[in-house]
Each structure stands twice: as structure tokens, then as C-alpha cells.
Amino acid sequence: MSNALAGLAARIERNWYGSVLGNLWLLPLWPLVWVVVHLRRRRFLRHPPAANPVPVVVVGNITVGGTGKTPLITLLAERARALGLRPAVVSRGYGAKAPQYPLDLTADTPVEHSGDEPRLLFNRLNGDASFCPVVVDPERRRAVAELAGRADIVFSDDGLQHYAMARAAEIVVVDHARGFGNGWLLPLGPLREPLARLKTVDLVLRNGADFQVQPTALVNAVSGEQISLQSFSGREVVAVSGIGNPQRFYDSLRSLGMQPQEHSFADHHQFQPDDLAFHQQTPDLPLVMTEKDWVKCRDFARSDWWYLQVSAVAQPEIAARLDSLLMTWSGKTHG
């Protein structure tokens, strides 16, 4: 993307979370988006897809950009496992291309085949004796079919608007700080669907209120060594982020006492060694990135690179409610 286009995209996004007046020049495109959104929803309601062989819980959002879905899915899968359920995850595998689908991830699956978020989820959910399958397919219902007999409940990473896949329940994740921006549909605002869509989902969870995404460790990008979160407190660090809401990452670093030099890339950016060559200009500063970005950089990572590991922690009343809902959605209990 050229600098001019990148600047224009950034201006449009700023207006999503400010005044809609700055995006009024995009108004001719808005009716087209409205028609597509409503027709797709109406078609789903009139002709719902066939039921899945295993209950699917969609974890998505109605806004563009990161809201904390991936840490929440990790939390949900861990809670499901603690309840005695067999969880699994399906994903579209955004930005990746596999030789064939469905793609059932293993420890050796290249991130170029799986995508960054599925790779991260597989790593986080399969670090002990337990196993949580992660299956990638642009047609998520094929991924779900692949899990028949292997799971009691499946969490779909995004896919709220993927109406070709049946679902037992829908969870919408909202960034509590940014909310729904100016409240307009794309391209005037950040909404993928109107706010009225929230009335049809099973649960709305606010990242920053109902649950918190908290840093848990600084992990070396080469050795896997974990150090204290305060290890770089009071120091400048080179901060690299290619996620939907990079400001949340930079704010996390500042909350840990770091002084980040911000280097933002597009969400799901496929990192190459040259992308981070600028770090050679400040070799005395540690480089800190997100875990989602690290999975794409680990093959060429350096020993002075680190990633910030984070985990979702639910409020006690939310955690209790989730446990009850997970059992209900899985069909293991009623009520």
C-alpha cells in the first residue's frame, strides 16, 4: 500500500471513532453496504444452513478491527476443558493459503498455511498433555464437519457474518474503550452490521469490563525464556504491532513502565526480515512485539526480540455465567 493510500485509510479509521462528518464523502457507498448486509441476513433467516455435527459457538464482533477475540477464545476453550468438555477451534485462516482444506493444525504446520491467529491458538491450547484441535478452512462448516466425534463444543474464531455456518450460540466481543465508534455502517463507520444485530446474539462481552486482557509474561522470541513484566520498566523499547488495534498493545507496554517507539503494520501483516531491519539502527534497545506477530517472525527472530504474552481474565460473575452457558450450549446440561 502506498503512503498516500495508507494515510487515507488511517484518516478514514480515525473518523470511525470520531465525527462521521469527515467520512461523508464516502456516503454514496454506504447504501450498497446496507443492502448487502441486510440481504445476507435475510437470506440466512429464510434459508438457515443445516445443523452441524457438533455445537458451534461463534466468537465475533460487529466492528472492524481487534476487540480481543483470540484471548477470549483461549479462555473459553480452557474453561470448557476444565468442565470436562472436549473443545476445538475453527478459523477461516485469514491471509493464509494451505495446500488443501480442511487444514488440521499440527505442531509443524507453517504459519503461511494456517494464518497467525490459528497458529497462536494452537500453541496456547496445546502446551500440556491435553489436546485442542484447531482446524482451518475458508468454508468453516467444512472445518466443523472435520471435527465430528472429536469435540463436544467448537469455538469459531470470528465468523459472526459467515451465515453459511450454523451456530448454537453467538458471542459478540466489544472493545469497551472504543465501543462502536460513530455508530455507522462501513465505510462511514466501523460497523459490519447495524447495532440492532446485538439484540439477536446470546451474549455481549466487553473487553475492559466483563473481562480483561492482561499481560502475563515477556517471552524471548528465540529461546522461549520468560522474564518479569517489569524487566524493561523505565526503558525505551522498539514496539512492533500488526494487529487490529495496535494502540491497546502500546498502552499495555506503557502500563508496564516501558517507553515504546511505535512501529505499526497492517492487521495480519506477513512479516519478512526486511520489515524489521530498522531495529539495526537502535541495536541497544530490545524489540517487543505481540504474540500474534511473533508466530510469523519466529523463523528469523533474534535473541534480543521479545513478545508480550497476554491472557483473558473474566470477572467472577462472568466466569460463572460462561461455565453454565458452555454446558448448556454443548448439550451436556439443560436450562
242 among annotated binding-site residues? no
Max CA separation in the chain (angstroms): 61
208 among annotated binding-site residues? no
63 among annotated binding-site residues? yes
Torsion of CA 141, 143, 148, 153, to 10 degrees: -80
290 among annotated binding-site residues? no
Dist CA 321 CA 85 (whole Å):
16
Give the gyration radius of the chain's Cα atoms.
20
Nearest CA to 29 out of 193, 196, 189, 197 is that of 189
68 among annotated binding-site residues? yes
Dist CA 227 CA 141 (whole Å):
41
Cβ partners under 8 Å of residue 64, min gap 6? 16, 186, 190, 191, 192, 244
216 among annotated binding-site residues? no
Distances (CA, A) of 183 to 18, 24, 174: 10, 14, 13
- Terminal-to-terminal C-alpha distance of the chain: 51
Torsion of CA 40, 190, 199, 91, to 10 degrees: 60
Dist CA 321 CA 327 (whole Å):
10
Dist CA 115 CA 182 (whole Å):
31
Strands 211-220 and 87-91: unpaired
CA count, 13 A, side-chain hemisphere, 90: 31
Instruction: Count CB neighbours of 151 within 10 A.
Output: 25
How much of the chain is helix, strand and coil, in % rounded to 5? 40, 20, 40
Q: In 201-276, which residue ranges form alpha helices assigned H by DSSP?
A: 246-255
Residues annotated in the binding site for ATP, as ranges?
63-70
Residues of the binding site: 63-70
